[in-house]
Amino acid sequence: MVSTSSDISSIKAFAESNGASPIPSNYHSFADINDVADADGLAASIPVIDFSFLTSDDPQIHTKTVDELGKACAEWGFFMLINHGISESLMEELMKKSREFHDLPMEEKKEFCDNGDPFSPIRHGYREVAFEYCEKITVIARKLMQGISKSLGLESSSIIDSSGFDSGLHFMLVNLYPPCPQPNLALGLPSHSDVGFLAFLIQNEIGGLQVKHEGKWVNVNPIPNCLVVNIGDQLEVVSNGSYASVLHRAILNNKDTRISVVVLNGPAQDKEIGPAPKLLEKEKSLFKSIKYRDYFQVQQKSRFSEGRPLDQIRNSALQ
């Protein structure tokens, strides 16, 4: 029997009880899922940044790494971060708790459902491990933001100070992708860019993330225990387009359940975010300034639609 979308209250439950049944047609993606670049060639050239070099006391090593960071942001909007100092055991514990959460009975999970308001956080019992992990990510994000500021020719604390980063909005998303009997027909997550400055992703050992690079989808095969980092929309705005937020998506497979945990960090909600004034001494402003809270709402409404949410605050070419 072919299920219809109205029979499905949970993709996970559907996958568990329907095994190899065809997926309902409204889950079919309009995107060309097989449109992937020469997988190994480009995937192998995804930039790798060594966090211990960025924080090195040796000015030469630090400066070289700042340059590499700037290049990764400009050319890919995306990189893998190694030697970041977060222990393997903490990352494993986070994955374990994430799996446990998704395995709760639906009725119990509903207790943690949000009410449609993205500013109303969902609370769940793995608060401690999530909190510890997010705290560590924030420290790393801060250092990266300092390096990124420098790579743009700004003071290292410039973006952090002007955006209220230290009281900024941080999110954690926990995605579960059950096996899909027809992975060539549906996407786990359609193409989108992220809000905020930087997004940090870890996953269980199952691949599925793809990034768009020079018009092609590239498979990401993360180095074990690295943090996969991508640039979000507010960094594109602050850098006046020099560091573009990268489109990415998640594909499915028909064998294994994939889990990914994403931490997004960004400006304080009430801060107006626009291109850094120093950059506008030499460049035309590509974006209008907008309060982060307001941009966040724009992005939530149009995250997966045609066009990019950023287009809504882009200054027209004629201005």
Ligand X SMILES: O=C(O)CCC(=O)C(=O)O
Q: Is 208 in the site for ligand X (CB under 6 A)?
A: yes
Q: Is 209 in the site for ligand X (CB under 6 A)?
A: yes
- Minimum Å distance from CB 287 to ligand X? 21
- Token pair listed for 42: 């480009």
Nearer to ligand X among residue 238 and residue 250 (C-beta)? 250
Burial class (CB in 10 A: 0-12, 13-18, 19+), 21: middle
# residues near ligand X by CB under 6 A: 11
Q: Is 84 in the site for ligand X (CB under 6 A)?
A: no
Nearer to ligand X among residue 130 and residue 279 (C-beta)? 130
Nearer to ligand X among residue 77 and residue 208 (C-beta)? 208
Q: Is 260 in the site for ligand X (CB under 6 A)?
A: yes
Pairing of strands 198-203, 290-291: unpaired
* Cβ-based neighbour number of residue 319 at 10 Å: 9
Our measurement of the distance from residue 77's CA atom to the centroid of its chain's CA atoms, rounded to an integer in Å, reads: 11
Yes or no: say if 96 and 125 are a contact pair by the CB < 8 Å rule.
Answer: no
Contacts of 81 (CB under 8 A, 6+ apart): 48, 49, 51, 140, 144, 200, 226, 227, 228, 229
Closest CA to 84 of 232, 263, 266: 263
Give me the amino acid identity at 250. Answer: A
Q: Which of 63, 175, 219, 253 binds ligand X (CB under 6 A)?
A: 175
Pairing of strands 248-251, 258-265: unpaired
d(CA 195, CA 104): 29
- Minimum Å distance from CB 30 to ligand X? 18
- Minimum Å distance from CB 209 to ligand X? 3
- Minimum Å distance from CB 246 to ligand X? 10
- Minimum Å distance from CB 213 to ligand X? 15
x-or-dash string of contact with ligand X, 239-258, rule CB under 6 A: ---------x-x--------
Q: Which of 23, 66, 180, 189 binds ligand X (CB under 6 A)?
A: 189
What is residue 284's DSSP assignment? Answer: -
Closest CA to 155 of 286, 279, 57: 279
Nearer to ligand X among residue 66 and residue 226 (C-beta)? 226
> Which range binds ligand X by CB under 6 A, 1-9, 18-26, 132-140, 201-209?
201-209
Nearer to ligand X among residue 19 and residue 307 (C-beta)? 307
What residues line the site for ligand X (CB under 6 A)?
Answer: 173, 175, 189, 194, 201, 208-209, 248, 250, 260, 262
